[in-house]
């Protein structure tokens, strides 16, 4: 026999499903779209290059 649980896992599933639906129905603005992964990757490359340049500049002196 399965263990008795105080809270069914289905309740969490229902809450997770109905929560966003209710949020949209109440007229709240949706969360802003996240930037595409190419934008994120570009920013990370630029940051890494700037870090490397500053490191090289400090090591020259």
Say yes or no to pLDDT of 1 above 70.
no
Q: Which two tokens stand for residue 55?
A: 């490191």
Q: How many residues does the chain have?
A: 61
Residue 6 has pLDDT above 70, yes or no: no
47 or 33, greater pLDDT: 47
Q: What percent of the chain has pLDDT over 90?
A: 13
Question: What are the strands, taking DSSP E only, across the chain?
Answer: none
Task: Read off the pTM.
Answer: 0.39
Report CA-CA distances (Å) from 47 to 33, 39, 44: 22, 12, 5
| Angle CA 13–1–14, to nearest 5 | 10
Average pLDDT over residues 6-15: 72
Question: The dihedral of CA 19, 20, 26, 30: what is its sign?
Answer: positive
């Amino acid at each position: 026999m399965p263990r008795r649980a105080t809270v069914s896992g289905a309740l969490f599933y229902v809450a997770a499903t109905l929560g966003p639906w209710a949020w949209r129905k109440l007229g709240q603005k949706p969360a802003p779209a996240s930037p595409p992964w190419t934008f994120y990757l570009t920013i990370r490359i630029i940051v890494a290059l700037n870090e490397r340049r500053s490191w090289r500049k400090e090591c020259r002196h």
